[in-house]
Amino acid sequence: MGTRLVALLTAAMFSWIGLPAEAQTLGQVFKRVSASVVVVRTREQEVAARGQGQTVNISGVGSGVLISADGKVMTAAHLVHTADEISAEFLDGEIVGARVIASEPEADVSLLQLERMPPRAVVAKLGDSDRVDVGDQVFIVGAPYGIGHTLSAGHISARHKPNTVYSEFSLAEFLQTDAAINQGNSGGPMFNMAGEVIGTVSHIISKSGGFEGLGFVVTSNMARRLLLERKALWTGMEGYVLTGDLAKAFNLPQPVGVLVQRVAERSPATLIGLRPGTMKATIDGKVLAVGGDIILAVQGIPLRPGTMKATIDGKVLAVGGDIILAVQGIPVQDRGSYERIQERLSRLHPGAEVTITVLREGRQLELRGPLP
């Protein structure tokens, strides 16, 4: 009789407590968190393929996730860092303008602030990515090819420490997954089966250009440290590091510099006066010798500027803009100098003066402006 009573009490207790969240089906968890995911749309200007000073409008689409009741959205830096206009589209179709308030391109994470908070918006919970194990079931919600709120499911395939997978995002700690990731998923959240955000979609490795089972997601703990705790400074500038032979070809007075590629409208980089490149050139398979004399005129007749695109080191670069040599007196040299610059800027209060030394048209200039 006593055994039967204990069994009945135990069954009643578990029926009252209910099933744990992790026992919910994938569909149930998806329905619970889907409204926190947004489609992020961007517009920015890019130097035209031909012609000097000509630009074209480029539209982008990705994803993001609402993480706070005051309208903060986490997404990928490569999607929004140099965007001139940003909007977030919610599950019910409502579209809200947004701006970048923190960004770390070296980890591919950015934080947006919505212009207003939609009344029916749902806030997602940031989980502890350190508790994620290889083999755990996960799912991603995003907008592949612009198709909003699409689910893909899979597992954690591996964990990767910073600077071990992709040198372009050297600060990023990655979770590798076999959950399908395609164009438009960038910036979208990866959820665990408790409905917590454990990562932000960054990129894939693919030979075909499509998904081949190698997707990489920046961990939520890394994003939390960089965007919420340290609040990485948003510059609104994209640059390309010139070093070695390229530094000599551009006649730099030091071994390393950063060639400014893009500058977002109304960004700190624009306010301080940084100028992006205004020309592109293509070698089209031809190998050119660079770094020597440049003929400007023959018999007093000026030569016309080139109007073609050029590929340098396998990349199409915008040339003719500023080359950053130093920030706050710290020369651009290596990874260590980048971290020292970031640390120096983080100690400044908003409105403090920032000094950037650039090489412009062969002359060194100092640009000054307030820290946002």
In Å, how far are 199, 244, 315 from 285, measured between CA atoms?
A: 40, 22, 12
Q: Is residue 249 exposed (0-12), middle (13-18) or buried (19+ Cβ within 10 Å)? A: middle
Asked if 203 is an active-site residue, the reply is: no
Catalytic residue among 36, 63, 152, 186: 186
The span from the CA of 107 to the CA of 283, in Å, is 31
Asked if 108 is an active-site residue, the reply is: yes
Question: Are residues 261 and 324 in contact, defined by beta-carbon separation less than 8 angstroms?
Answer: no
299: left (phi over 0), alpha (psi -120 to 50) or beta: left
**Half-sphere CA count of 154, side-chain side, radius 13 A:** 22
Catalytic residue among 81, 84, 103, 108: 108
Catalytic residue among 78, 81, 149, 203: 78
The span from the CA of 86 to the CA of 59, in Å, is 10
For every residue of 179-239, which 3-state class applies, written as one string?
CCCCCCCCCCEEEECCCEEEEEEEEECCCCCCCCCCEEEEEHHHHHHHHHHCCCCCCCEEE
SS3 of residue 78 by DSSP: helix
In Å, how far are 44, 186, 203 from 34, measured between CA atoms?
A: 28, 16, 21
The span from the CA of 156 to the CA of 343, in Å, is 33
Q: Which of 219, 151, 148 is nearest to 181 (CA)?
A: 151
Asked if 78 is an active-site residue, the reply is: yes
* Dihedral pair phi/psi, residue 179, rounded to 5°: -65, 135
Q: Which residues contact 174 (CB under 8 A, 6 or more apart)?
A: 159, 160, 165, 166, 202, 216, 217, 218, 219
Question: Are residues 370 and 354 in contact, defined by beta-carbon separation less than 8 angstroms?
Answer: yes
Q: Is residue 51 exposed (0-12), middle (13-18) or buried (19+ Cβ within 10 Å)? A: middle
Catalytic positions, written as ranges: 78, 108, 186
